[in-house]
């Protein structure tokens, strides 16, 4: 079968000298695209998924990759369950999945990671989002959110079995949680490993269910959770709250809660990283003569001295009036203000007269030339 197989590098679409990060990136993209969870009943996607997983499992292992580089597919002939599938999913793929998909699929699917491993495992992460105002993102805030969380059933200590009884080893899989079936096909023997249908992969079955949790081993309740939003957080960033995710397995610690922050726009200010941007109108008389104006900043109004002869579109920098760095809130970015010189739309007679008298004083050649254009 080996000669029919596609080259592993070709499968992942990477060059032969691709490093670990490039392999992982390529595999992640393919696995996400063809993952059985998102392509149910699609045999072609399943085949592509297996092909990519196989390629990655070999190339991500330095020893296997060396052998593959030297001998090609024949390096693994007769290994790993062989057959047309040529690849055994029951082995250490769990580690690869745990590593790659821990965040990708939110973990909570009971995916490949826990089926054969029975030690303590950290619970999956939960995700939620909160909307905060522009100012709350700049200065930080405290928020409270409500989440429905599972807790271990205190009645049965999470076993799901009626107190006084205990879960029994599953007779179908002998506690392994997985069953192996072999199938004779025209390509040879295909070995398939599946989650045990009897115990759902747990390895144990409950004869008498706990009446409190109906055998699930957990209860659910709404919890109010405090979220400390740090100053300087930006739209789309997440806050990790340890121990507020899914229950751990077999005494493992709880997963985390990841709270994504959605920041509302501000009517005056735009933000980029720690810089703020806005425009501020200034009267044309102050632009010409100079003087003090009040400019709105995220901290409130500040006074700013305008130089005589300031043009419209002049950009000024208000140091330290930007957004605090999320790593160190005593370090703040700057606020960049674009000055817009405002020409009055209505003038009374006295003002017009004053401007005409001013106009008459403008005798320079440059001025005459410009005026000529508009006469």
Residues interacting with Zn ion, by CB under 5 A? 153, 155-156, 170, 172-173, 196, 198-199, 210, 212-213
CB of 94 to Zn ion, least distance (A): 17
Spatial contact of 107 and 124, defined as CB atoms under 8 Å apart:
yes
Query: How many of the other CB atoms lie within 10 Å of CB of 309?
Result: 10
Helix locations, 105-192, DSSP H: 134-139
C-beta of 61 vs 151, nearer to Zn ion: 151
For the CB of residue 111, give the shortest distance to Zn ion in the complex, in Å.
Answer: 18
Q: Which is nearer to Zn ion, 70 or 181 (CB)?
A: 181
Tell me how far, at minimum, the Cβ of 92 lies from Zn ion, in Å. Answer: 21
For Zn ion, the closer CB: 196 or 276:
196
Residue nearer to Zn ion on the CB measure, 211 or 236 = 211
Q: Which is nearer to Zn ion, 123 or 160 (CB)?
A: 160
Nearer to Zn ion, 155 or 329 (CB): 155
Calpha distance 338→292 (Å, rounded): 16
Instruction: Report the Cα 41 to chain-centroid distance in Å.
Output: 28
Structure tokens at 350: 């006295």
Whichever of 26 and 210 has its CB closer to Zn ion, that residue is: 210
The CA-to-CA distance between both ends of the chain, in Å, stands at 89
- Nearest distance, CB of residue 158 and Zn ion, angstroms: 7
Instruction: Tell the smallest beta-carbon distance from residue 215 to Zn ion (Å).
Output: 7
Asked if 45 contacts 36 with a C-beta cutoff of 8 angstroms, the reply is yes
For the record, the structure tokens of 363 come out as 């005798």
Distance of CA 166 to the CA centre of its chain: 40
Q: Give me the least distance between CB of 81 and Zn ion, in Å please.
A: 21
Q: What is the DSSP string of 78-99?
A: T-TT-TTT---TTSTHHHHHHH
The half-sphere exposure of 250 on its side-chain side, counting CA atoms within 13 A, is: 11
Between 160 and 322, CB nearer to Zn ion? 160
We find the least distance from the C-beta atom of residue 190 to Zn ion, in angstroms, to be 21
Joined together, the tokens standing for residue 50 give 């297996």
Nearer to Zn ion, 199 or 259 (CB): 199
Nearest-approach distance from CB 101 to Zn ion, in angstroms: 23
CA distance 334 to 127: 33
Strand partners, 297: 300
Shortest distance (Å) from residue 209 CB to Zn ion: 8
CB 325 within 8 A of CB 333: yes
The C-alpha atoms of residue 218 and residue 150 are separated, in whole angstroms, by: 6
Non-local (6+) Cβ contacts of 101 within 8 A are 31, 107, 111, 113
Q: Match 């040529």 to its residue by tokens.
A: 86
> What is the rounded distance in angstroms from the CA atom of residue 168 to the CA atom of residue 350?
99
Q: Give the C-alpha separation, 11 to 72, whole Å.
A: 14
């Amino acid at each position: 079968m080996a000669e029919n197989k596609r080259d592993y590098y070709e499968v992942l679409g990477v060059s032969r000298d691709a490093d670990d990060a490039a392999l992982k990136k390529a595999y992640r993209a393919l696995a996400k695209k063809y993952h059985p969870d998102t392509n149910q009943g699609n045999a072609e996607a399943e085949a592509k998924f297996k092909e990519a997983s196989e390629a990655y499992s070999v190339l991500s292992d330095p020893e296997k990759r060396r052998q593959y580089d030297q001998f090609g597919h024949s390096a693994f002939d007769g290994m790993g369950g062989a057959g047309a599938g040529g690849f055994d999913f029951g082995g250490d793929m769990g580690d690869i999945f745990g590593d790659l998909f821990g965040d990708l699929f939110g973990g909570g699917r009971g995916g490949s990671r826990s089926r054969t491993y029975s030690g303590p495992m950290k619970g999956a992460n939960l995700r939620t989002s909160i909307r905060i105002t522009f100012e709350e993102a700049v200065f930080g805030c405290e928020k409270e959110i409500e989440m429905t969380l599972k807790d271990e059933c205190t009645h049965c200590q999470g076993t799901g079995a009626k107190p006084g009884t205990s879960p029994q080893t599953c007779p179908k899989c002998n506690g392994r949680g997985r069953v192996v079936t072999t199938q004779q096909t025209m390509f040879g023997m295909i070995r398939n490993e599946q989650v045990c249908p009897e115990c759902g992969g747990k390895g144990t079955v409950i004869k008498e269910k706990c009446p409190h949790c109906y055998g699930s081993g957990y209860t659910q309740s709404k919890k109010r959770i405090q979220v400390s939003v740090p100053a300087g957080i930006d739209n789309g960033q997440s806050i990790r709250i340890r121990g507020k995710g899914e229950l751990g397995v077999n005494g493992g610690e709880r997963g985390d809660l990841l709270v994504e922050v959605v920041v509302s726009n501000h009517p005056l200010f735009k933000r980029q990283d720690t810089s703020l941007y806005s425009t501020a109108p200034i009267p044309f008389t102050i632009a010409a003569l100079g003087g003090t104006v009040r400019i709105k900043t995220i901290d409130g109004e500040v006074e700013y001295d305008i130089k005589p002869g300031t043009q419209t579109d002049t950009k000024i920098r208000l140091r330290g009036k930007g957004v605090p760095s999320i790593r160190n809130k005593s370090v703040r970015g700057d606020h960049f203000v674009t000055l817009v010189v405002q020409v009055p739309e209505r003038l009374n007679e006295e003002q017009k007269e004053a401007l005409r008298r001013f106009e008459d004083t403008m005798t320079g050649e440059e001025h005459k030339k410009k005026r000529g254009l508009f006469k």
